[in-house]
Structure 1
């Protein structure tokens, strides 16, 4: 009899759990919102956990699910949690720009206590700290500041050209050699960020596996463990502290904190001024010490929060630009007609200055701009963006209204929102033949025809990428120095279509990008 009772209780518990989960996973149906059928416990996240396809393809599959075609948004389940995936550009504009105050935070986050360098930067910071830090950092990216940075970036560009011209030829007849170009571009961008932001020489071209490069690589090296960490950060941030996951690994955090604090102290001690990020952070600190505001305001620019901004600028700055440059080289190698046109533009522009690369030369490279815009459409650094509803629910307010896109449902506070950047870029209703590399899509005339808020490689609204113009400037200078003395071609092992790394939440090519470089000076 006792055993029968135990069996009965177990069956009752299982049935109770089944019906509870079944009720939970009908959250969207009960609110008359179209949903993608979930799986128990996993919700709609089985595809990203399997790591068989890239996160970009996973989000693209959700966006194009046949059960939600033509819907402005769709209900999904991030494991157990109901969330929204936006599909309508007009609604995306409302969430990211018009009603930004109701969605001012990202849903993703790291551990504020155990991963301060990963969680306290402007990418992950919550309001009101985010707004204060963003406001203080903005002067670093003004047009005048970018002009002042040009000479520093150009110097690293010359180092890149010298490095390439000193590589021994593997084939004397073809005057060629082969390289994995993502790592090559990362050497360039690592040196640029170290110089422009910190005023130090990383010497990535001279030192094999230099410390800045080694620790920078560790942040975005997507092993299985790192993939799980990033999945948790973006989809289950509340569990990140429980598992001890970090955006910035322990060794990288130790090196970067030590290096940046040393640079800060030396700069304060000597009183030297270089008009770089370190100077801005020092000014934050000084103004903070004089502040007579609230205790919260006084703590904003102390300790790790200063270092966190410098770490973000380093990690995000080298990774996104180096990936964009590498993807551009891949497409140029496949499309030699585009490469010839781009090299001709570079040659013509440099001829006007006797071969000297100037800021005005970079500004004149309109076709270069078109190429980079198209590369960023095909390969946006982040395949999706996330927001969290911060509308305050009260007695007279049920949440954020979605009228006219839905008459009754209101987004409750705390609900995650996802914007499928890669899927929008691959949508044929916005970009005809979306998988083809066609830089002319971004000619001045054609850009006017694009549907607003269907092109989001840098995000949009107040949370848009603060370093967009710097990233493009860095990539343009790097590509000019790569192409002024070399052509890029495919090799026998170069795939016709890149496979995206299934573990990398940030777009990366699986196995790298291996190309042939042919020494072919433009003759300027």
Structure 2
């Protein structure tokens, strides 16, 4: 037998062995839920139940929604599925979900996202934090969202609406089409920058396009399809070994510079606004009691400050602007809802001398329904707390 044939046979044999191993690996992996006696969605090699994600027909969020609905149709309280070769647990029953989030939350502290604070510091935000570190930081966040602070923030928000209204009136007078998502994004960017960090971003005046670009980068990279697929399928130690990043260096540089300016300005001017920036700075400067109230937690370092600032800023403006955009779209399609909402607003404002106050908005129950409760712009920061808590 010559060397060419030997090489061919060797490659063939190696391919057969590799195929057999892959089949054996998947067979063992796909037996995970069956061995535990849990009903599961039937997977296929090699995608598991993530075939539609691989074809980009659905996002991961939509995929998990499908898992939930399919298991709910079967009438089960919970079940299993597979993302490639990884088993995932899907709670269906509301009582199980409630227990996971509340009573048994100590056993479910992690979100399963990628975090590498050393080489990718922006990945260390509250949504990705894990274990004791997450518990400690989460326990400090409610102090930012007290009713007194919300009322103070509301005054800032109310002032922002004048510029927002002026921009929309300019479109109305010109008769030009308006990109309402772009306008609400500028609106909520100015609000989150002012209320959380004391920054005049002036995006509604078209003076800070770079801030909008960088803030959008959080979603473009954090929820990028390829990056999410790698995070869901490859072991974290391997990703750390190859210095995998979920956030781009450009975004890190931007927020590093921004946060340095915020901290230096607060220190030099001795400002105490009681906002998110102040809370984060306080956690950097001294040891505070941990979530148990019996011990102390390690102070935040600058990278952790930067990660929290990035996620609260990005998520704060984007979630609220999207909610406003969809609400206005639905109102534009339904004249009856428009009329009903306008009547409620006029009726409530009449009680408050036609002034938009925090108390007035809290009385607008139909408005609350229109924007789905916690997504109201007046509850922008409370929404962020719920979303990341």
Bucket of the pairwise TM-score, normalised by the shorter protein: 0.7 to 0.9
Residue of structure 2 in register with 1:118 after alignment:
123
Residue of structure 2 in register with 1:153 after alignment:
157
CA contact (8 A) 2:218 2:311 kept: no
Deviation of the 1:222 alpha carbon: 7.0
Residue of structure 1 in register with 2:44 after alignment:
39
CA contact (8 A) 1:108 1:235 kept: no
- Secondary structure of residue in 2 paired with 1:76: strand
Residue of structure 2 in register with 1:277 after alignment:
276
Deviation of the 1:243 alpha carbon: 6.1
Picking from 3, 25, 33, the partner of 1:28 is: 33
Residue of structure 2 in register with 1:324 after alignment:
323
- Secondary structure of residue in 1 paired with 2:191: helix
1:75 matches 2:73: no
List alignment gaps of at least 5 residues for structure 1.
Answer: 172-176, 377-457, 459-466, 475-524
Distance in 2 (CA, whole Å) between partners of 1:72 and 1:105 is 22
Distance in 1 (CA, whole Å) between partners of 2:208 and 2:28 is 54
Distance in 2 (CA, whole Å) between partners of 1:330 and 1:243 is 44
Picking from 31, 35, 55, the partner of 1:50 is: 55
CA contact (8 A) 1:43 1:80 kept: yes
RCO comparison, higher one (Cα < 8 Å, 6+): 1
Deviation of the 1:338 alpha carbon: 0.7
Q: Given the superposition, is the C-alpha separation of residues 212 and 16 from structure 1 closer, same or farther in structure 2, using an over 3 Å criterion?
A: closer
Deviation of the 1:32 alpha carbon: 2.2
Deviation of the 1:472 alpha carbon: 6.6
Cα distance per residue 1:460-505 (max 9 Å; x no partner): xxxxxxx99444789xxxxxxxxxxxxxxxxxxxxxxxxxxxxxxx
Distance in 2 (CA, whole Å) between partners of 1:8 and 1:67 is 45
Residue of structure 1 in register with 2:106 after alignment:
101
Distance in 1 (CA, whole Å) between partners of 2:25 and 2:83 is 17
Distance in 2 (CA, whole Å) between partners of 1:222 and 1:281 is 24
Distance in 2 (CA, whole Å) between partners of 1:75 and 1:158 is 51
CA contact (8 A) 2:121 2:304 kept: yes
Structure with greater proportional helix content: 2
Normalised by the length of structure 1, the TM-score is: 0.65
Normalised by the length of structure 2, the TM-score is: 0.85
Number of residue pairs matched by the alignment: 374
Residue of structure 1 in register with 2:387 after alignment:
none
1:99-498 alignment runs, 5 A limit: 99-119=104-124, 121-167=125-171, 169-171=173-175, 177-207=176-206, 210-221=209-220, 226-233=224-231, 238=236, 240-241=239-240, 244-288=243-287, 299-373=298-372, 469-471=379-381
Distance in 1 (CA, whole Å) between partners of 2:303 and 2:19 is 47
Deviation of the 1:320 alpha carbon: 0.9
